Structure formats: structure tokens, C-alpha cells
Amino acid sequence: MSFKELKSSKKARSYVHSSVDRPAISAPIEESQPGHEPQKASSDEKLYNALPNSLEIRHSEVNGRGLWTTSTIKAGVVIFVTKPFASALSTSNLSSYCSSCFAPSSSNGMRRCTKCRIAHYCDSICQTNDWAIHKLECTSLQKWFQAAPSSDIGPPSDAVRCLSRMLWKLQKRGFDTIQAKEIANMQSHRKSLKPSAYETHTYLAQSLVQYMNFSNPADMTQYHLSSAADLVDTVSRFITNTFTVTDPTLVPLGAAVSPVVALINHSCDPNAIVVFPRVFSDPKNNEPLMHVVAIRDIQPEEDLFILTSYIDATLPTRLRQQSLNETYNFECRCGLCSMVGVDPRMALNCPKNCGGLCPLPIEDVDHPLVRCFKCHAVVHSVEAALDALRVSQEGLDKATALQFRDPEKSLRLTTNLIPILISAGFPPSSHPLLGLTRLHQQLLTESFPNPLTQDHLDETIRTASQNVNGLTTLLREGHPVLAIALVGLGKLLAVDEPSPRASDSDLFQKELTQVYPPSGLPRLQLAYQTLLRARTMLSIGFGVVNEGGQVGKEVREMIVALEKEIGVFKQGVRNVFEDTPRVKV
């Protein structure tokens, strides 16, 4: 694989055409399509009738309302597929992705709305499908810019635009429909908001009022908002139940609301995940579609848990709880948050290198003697490790803020901080080393020199390997985040080497097997094995029936290409030996 192919593969947007039966789409079709009528809700009609029969809505004292399965669900099963009730692209994606189906811009470019000049579409079909809502959005966008005091003001955030799309759709369909009642049933935390959440809720409410041109109370009543409390309730329901829309490689694209998926409770160690694999053969089939996929076997009578979109499961318990408490107003009691033992997210390597881990205490608490859980060796450099952690956390925050504005400075920060944490004894799975490693890999990949150098490529591969090692410790086999990380490593290993290490010396070949990354045939074989492992995980994380989604298709094609390349490489070596005269001793 060439470097050009590697970079283009990150933007490749082919669709998988497969004969495998697909799970039924559980959400109603868009009202812009012929033959659709919104479902009216009678007083005794069951809500959420889009859910499969194998799931039931129940209540528990610990988690409240949630979904329970009545039958065994195997890992990799797509539990159900649904279209978000409302969705909106992030501002940075408005010009490069379709505002209707969320597909990326093709070689033919995008069609731009001639009025607001903000929304872009694949073609006239997507533009027509979205017009029922966009004609209202279009007017608001035009007025937004007319009222803007500066030409530098951009469109409102995806949260504001997604929330407004939700309200416009509710008004259009009617507030007596099943969908409207499902939205109203989404949980609100208005009465128990914490002071730390006031600013976010207030800003979103004020931006919504301005964007939707609410000039008096009468303007709000048409959306069933008869008071400020109703407005805050709506904002709270939105914030609590919003999901991130991603592309098939898990890159965030925007925000979405689905009252059906919102029924599933949170866990930092989930048994199911929400992905957007884009696998259906018809690109106009109501994408973006949310696929709820089991990433481990789920037993009958078991609560269905997913990982909420805004929580990073690789963070230590303290940071996860802080984020959940501030944003979602609850304390997580999942198995990961209540685990006993060493959390590899907050640990040090054994000072005697026995393979065990040492629990790193919270920096604000007086810590007891820190020992390895395996061999009980004492750690004598705890204070130095905590200092390295504090400095690196600040550096990670700064590098993240700079990654787009000043990528060179961001890369310098990650380059300097990673060795500090490694020398302090932090394992690849620890925080913030894992976060720095992931960012470092991204920056290295995006800054590949032209022409590509062997040193830069090898450093990127080593960083990607560290990232995979850290994620493998934290995430279960089949988790889509781990699967995508393996795909990235496999692609890097498959890139053509600018200056491969090569020698006919048997001794040198033996040395090559002890160097990472290897060179020549061993590198190709490692790429092949890595992508095979990635393919297995993709089939779980993105659904067996989906064959790993769009990324799965690309990986299958790469595996076939590598098989041919390895075969050619081996045949070339045979030819060399056959053509070389044997020397008699």
C-alpha cells in the first residue's frame, strides 16, 4: 500500500453491497417520502412499538426505566436499527457532508442551498427529502446571520440546530403522535440541575430562542412551550438524551436524538454499543441510521446497557463520574465504576517489572504505601509519578486545544510528554498516557512528510501499537473503538516502506525479527495478521450481519491485496534462491 492510498483510504466512502439479510429498520420513514402518515397515539396505544419483541421496557430501583432482553443475544447481533428523530451536522462538517443523509462529499461535489448557503446535499433527492424541515431551518439561518454583529459569526452549534429540528418536526407531525409522546417521555433533570450545569442549559435555551425567532410567549406555545420551565425541560431532555453521530470510522459528525435508543441505560462497561456503519446498498435509505449492536453475549432478563456517546470509557473512574454527574446528573454504579482491585487507567508498572500493576492513588488524597498487586514490590517514586501526571494532564488539554489551530505545537507537546510518563512508570493503558498516545498517532499520520521517511513511518507505527496495547487492556474484544484502532495499525504496517531494511545475511534477518516494526516480508505478514484480527472485531462491533460495515468491506479488500503481495514477495525470494548458484564447500 502506498502512502497516498493510506491517506485516501481514510476518506474513502464506498458502500457495502451484500446479499446478507439486513435487520429491519425500526424507525418510521421520513415524512417527505410518499405514502407516510405520522402515527397518531391513542390513550391505550403502546409507545415504542418499533422495538423488537425480544426487548421489554422495565423499571429498576437502581437504574430506573430501561430495556431488558427476554432472550439470549449473541455478541455481534444487531439488536435493532433506527433512524434518529432529529439530527444535525457539526458546524465544521456542514460544507463537506450531506445535511440529509450525512454522506461525505463525492468527487462530483455537493449541492448547496442557494438561500442560506449553509446546508449542502448529495443531490436533488437528498435536498428534497430534507426540504420539509430545512425550509424552516433555512429561514432561521438567514435571520441568524442578518442579526449577527460580525461577519465572523458562524452558524449556531449542532446542539442548537438539532434541538430546533426536533421542535420543527414535532410541530409538523403533531404533538398527539406516538413520536411526540416518546420525546416527551425522555428524562429531564430540570428539578435537580446542579449549579455546574446552569451555564450550559442557559446558553442553549437562549441560543434556541434567538435561532427560532421567539419574540414573545405566543411564538413558543406553538411548540408546546408555555413557560420558561417547559423550555428548560425541553433543553434538559435534549442534553440528557443526545447521541453523537459518527462516520463508519467513529469520527464525530454531529448530534442526534432518538427516544427509542434513549431508553437504554448507561454503563462504562457496556454490553451494547451504538454505531453508524452505513451498510445498506441504497444510499438514500434514510441514513444516518443508528445500529444498536451487542458487543458481548447478553443473557435473558439482563438489562441492556450502552456506552453514552459523550463518555470516554478509557478515563479513570473519578473523571467518568465527574462528567456523568455534571452532564447527566447521576452517579454510575456499573461494574467498572465499582470494581475492586487495580484500575489500569490509574496505575503504575511494577518497579521490578514482574508484569503486575500498582494502584496510583488520587492525587488530592494522602496515599498509603503503594505496592504491586502481583509481587508486592514497593513503589518509591509515587510523588514523582503524580507530578508527571499533573503536568501531562495539563499538556494533553493544551495539545488537544491546539491540534487543529497549531498542529506542529500540539505534536511537540505530545512528543515531549509521552516519554515523561513512560519513564515515570505509566503503562500504555493509563491516563493521560493513552490520550496522549492517541493524539500523537493522529498528529503523526496527518503530518506525514512528502516524500515519506522511514523514521516517520516507523514512529507512527510504534505509536499506533502503543495505542492498541492500551486499548486492548481496557476494552473487550469486539469493541468498535479497539477494532478501528487495529484497522489503523494494519493500514500503517501495509504502507510501502520508503527505505526498507534488507540484507541477505541470515544473522541480519534474525535481527530484523527482534526490531519493531519489522521490515520486508515480516512487516507485510504482521499487517495481514493485524487486519485479520481487526476484521473479526469489526464483525462484532459493527454487527455480524453488517459484515463489519463500510470499514469491514475496506479491510476485506486490503486483506485480499496483502495475500497477493505476500505471495509475490515469497515467489520473488524463491526465484532468487533458485537463480543463485550453489557454492560447494
Asked if 16 and 550 touch (Cβ cutoff 8 Å), the reply is: yes
pLDDT in tens, 457-506: 999 999 999 999 999 999 999 999 999 999 999 999 999 999 987 644 44
How confident is the prediction for the chain on average, in pLDDT?
85
What pLDDT, on the 0 to 100 scale, is given for residue 400? 96
pLDDT in tens, 435-447: 999 999 999 999 9
* In the block, residue with C-alpha cell 397518531: 40
Residue 583 in this model has a pLDDT that exceeds 70? no
What pLDDT, on the 0 to 100 scale, is given for residue 16? 28
What pLDDT, on the 0 to 100 scale, is given for residue 330? 81
Closest CA to 182 of 86, 272, 271: 86
What pLDDT, on the 0 to 100 scale, is given for residue 108? 86
> Over 143-201, what HEC string results?
HHHHHCCCCCCCCCCHHHHHHHHHHHHHHHHCCCEHHHHHHHCCCCCHHHCCHHHHHHH
Cα 179 to Cα 286: distance, rounded to the nearest angstrom: 17
Hey, is 397 helix, strand or coil? helix
What pLDDT, on the 0 to 100 scale, is given for residue 216? 85
Helix (H) or strand (E) holding 528: helix 521-541
Taking residues 547-571, what's their average pLDDT? 92
What pLDDT, on the 0 to 100 scale, is given for residue 422? 96
Asked if 238 and 163 touch (Cβ cutoff 8 Å), the reply is: yes
What pLDDT, on the 0 to 100 scale, is given for residue 218? 86
**57 beta partners:** 67
Q: Domain ranges for the chain, please list them.
A: 3-187+241-313, 345-467, 475-580
Percentage above 90 pLDDT, the chain = 64
pLDDT in tens, 288-306: 999 999 999 999 988 878 7
What pLDDT, on the 0 to 100 scale, is given for residue 33? 38
pLDDT in tens, 189-211: 777 777 767 788 888 999 999 99
What pLDDT, on the 0 to 100 scale, is given for residue 353? 92
Instruction: Tell me the C-alpha to C-alpha distance, in Å, between residue 582 and each of 257, 505, 585.
Output: 72, 16, 9
Taking residues 3-12, what's their average pLDDT? 47
What pLDDT, on the 0 to 100 scale, is given for residue 42? 42
| pLDDT tier for residue 510 given thresholds of 50, 70 and 90 | low
DSSP string, 8-67: HHTT--------SPPPPB-SPPPTTSTT--PPBPPTTPPS-TTS-TTEEEEEETTTEEEE
Q: What is the pTM of this model?
A: 0.87
pLDDT in tens, 83-141: 999 999 999 999 999 999 999 998 889 999 999 999 999 999 999 999 999 999 999 99
Closest CA to 357 of 378, 374, 340: 374
What pLDDT, on the 0 to 100 scale, is given for residue 47? 87
Cα 502 to Cα 250: distance, rounded to the nearest angstrom: 37
Cα 551 to Cα 14: distance, rounded to the nearest angstrom: 9
pLDDT in tens, 232-283: 899 999 998 999 999 999 999 999 999 999 999 889 999 999 999 998 655 5
Asked if 385 and 370 touch (Cβ cutoff 8 Å), the reply is: no
What pLDDT, on the 0 to 100 scale, is given for residue 507? 44
Residue 409 in this model has a pLDDT that exceeds 50? yes
Q: How many CB atoms lie within 10 A of CB 111?
A: 15
User: Burial, 142: exposed, middle or buried (Cβ in 10 Å; 0-12, 13-18, 19+)?
Assistant: middle
CA dihedral (52, 54, 55, 56) positive or negative: positive
pLDDT in tens, 350-369: 999 999 999 988 655 555 68
Residue 310 in this model has a pLDDT that exceeds 80? no
Cα 207 to Cα 149: distance, rounded to the nearest angstrom: 15
**The CATH classification of domain 3-187+241-313, taken from the options 2.60.40.10, 3.40.50.1820, 2.170.270.10, 3.30.70.20:** 2.170.270.10
- The answer for residues whose C-beta is within 8 angstroms of residue 236's C-beta and 6 or more apart is 188, 189, 190, 193, 201
Residue 11 in this model has a pLDDT that exceeds 60? no
What pLDDT, on the 0 to 100 scale, is given for residue 358? 94
Percentage above 70 pLDDT, the chain = 84
What pLDDT, on the 0 to 100 scale, is given for residue 505? 46
Give rounded-to-5 percent helix, strand, coil for the chain. 45, 10, 45
What pLDDT, on the 0 to 100 scale, is given for residue 90? 96
Helix (H) or strand (E) holding 364: none
- State phi, psi for 303 to the nearest 5 degrees: -70, 140
What pLDDT, on the 0 to 100 scale, is given for residue 2? 54
Taking residues 515-536, what's their average pLDDT? 95
Hey, is 202 helix, strand or coil? helix
